[in-house]
Amino acid sequence: MSFRFETILRLNKKREDLLQKDMGQINIHHQRQEDRQQLIRDATEASKDDLNQKKRTGVSAEIMTLYDNFAKGAKIQVEKQGKIIAEINTKLEAKREEVVEAMRKRRTMEILKERDMLKERKVRERKETAILDEVATNLWVRKF
C-alpha cells in the first residue's frame, strides 16, 4: 500500500525546488548588483588617484571640473545601486521565507509518510506473526 498523500508530497517537493531556483536567481542578481556597485566605487577611487597625480603635475580647471562631475555622478550611481540592492535584499528575504515554509510543509508530509510506512510495517508484521503462529500451531497439532 502506498502513502495516500504521495501526490501532495511530490507537489511540495517540486514547489520547494522551484522556490529554491527562484531564490538562486535572486541571489545571482544580488551579487551582480553588488559587483556593479563595487565597480563604480573602484572607478571612483581610480579617478581620484588619477586626479591627485595630475594635480602634482599641473592640471587645468576644466579637467578638475570633469573629474568632479564624474565623482558626483558616480556617487549618485552608488546610491542608486544601494537602493536597488536594498530592494533585492527585501525580495530575497521574502523568497527565503517562502522556501522555509515550503521546506516545513514538505518535511511535515515526509514525517506523515514515515509514520504511515511504520504503521503499515507493524500491521504486516502482526499479520506475518499471526500466520506463523497458525502454522506453528498446526504443526504442533499434527505431531500429537
- What would the pLDDT profile of 42-55 be if each residue is shown by its tens digit? 999 999 998 888 88
**Site of grid cell 525580495:** 91
In angstroms, what is the C-alpha Rg of the chain? 34
In a domain, 133, yes or no: no
**Site of grid cell 508484521:** 125
**pLDDT in the model for residue 105:** 94
**pLDDT in the model for residue 58:** 84
**pLDDT in the model for residue 81:** 96
CATH assignment of the domain containing 13: 1.10.287
In a domain, 31, yes or no: yes
What is the pTM (predicted TM-score) of this model? 0.74
**pLDDT in the model for residue 1:** 59
**pLDDT in the model for residue 138:** 87
In a domain, 104, yes or no: yes
**pLDDT in the model for residue 56:** 85
In a domain, 138, yes or no: no
Tens-digit pLDDT string for the chain (144 aa): 577 889 999 999 999 999 999 999 999 999 999 999 999 999 999 999 988 888 888 888 888 899 899 999 999 999 999 999 999 999 999 999 999 999 999 999 999 999 999 999 999 999 999 999 999 898 888 877
**pLDDT in the model for residue 142:** 80
Is residue 75 within 8 Å of 20, Cβ to Cβ? no
Containing structural domain, residue 83: 6-118
- Count how many domains the chain has: 1
Distance from C-alpha of 71 to C-alpha of 79, rounded to nearest angstrom: 12
> What b/e string do you get for 101-135 counting C-beta neighbours within 10 Å, with b at 16 or more?
ebeebbeebeeebeebeeeeeeeeeeeeeeeeeee
In a domain, 90, yes or no: yes
In a domain, 82, yes or no: yes
